[in-house]
Amino acid sequence: MTHPHYLPHEVLPHAAPMILLDRILEFDAHSLTAALTVPANGLFNDPALGGAVPAYVAIEYMAQAIAALDGCHARRSGQAPKIGFLLGTRRFESNVPCFQPGTQLTVHVNEVIKGDNGMVVFAAAVSGVARDESAIEVTARINGFQPENPSDFLSN
């Protein structure tokens, strides 16, 4: 694993406030580990959950980690991060309904299958320790697509 010199805003094709990762811890050719602290007043805090973030937001944490992995490789090659698309999620499992503000989470993604057509499948996990000191474990398979010309898919 490589200890990066990149910050999430340098490798993600997102703009604030949509950048949800705080740090990139390490990456290699096929995997990346990132970290974040669940915010108290972010885009996904739900008043119906007492201000917590629903566990399904972990899918976006995972997707951003995948995008960050691609962005780290792009930056290393002197290129800008490219846009990719989240196509779907399979086998999403969470042992918690939500993440409490202030909780430290680690996001790990590992490439499982990469097609030559821009399709990719990642095994992804979000982990941490809840306030009651129980383990947080969220896992999923993330299907993504990164076309050669993303603008072709964004036009009218």
For the entire predicted model, the pTM comes to 0.93
pLDDT score for 147: 78
For residue range 121-156, what is the model confidence (pLDDT) as tens digits? 999 999 999 999 999 999 999 999 987 776 676 765
Residue 55 and residue 65 in contact, taking contact as beta carbons nearer than 8 Å: no
Residue 86 and residue 144 in contact, taking contact as beta carbons nearer than 8 Å: yes
* Residues 93, 98, 103, 105, Cα dihedral to 10°: 20
Residue ranges of the chain whose pLDDT lies below 70: 2-4, 150-151, 153, 155-156
Domains and CATH numbers, the chain: 8-154 (3.10.129.10)
pLDDT score for 141: 98
Sheet strands side by side (includes 104-114): 23-27, 31-37, 104-114, 119-129, 135-145, 85-94
DSSP per position, 105-146: EEEEEEEEEE-TTSEEEEEEEEEEE-TTSPEEEEEEEEEEE-
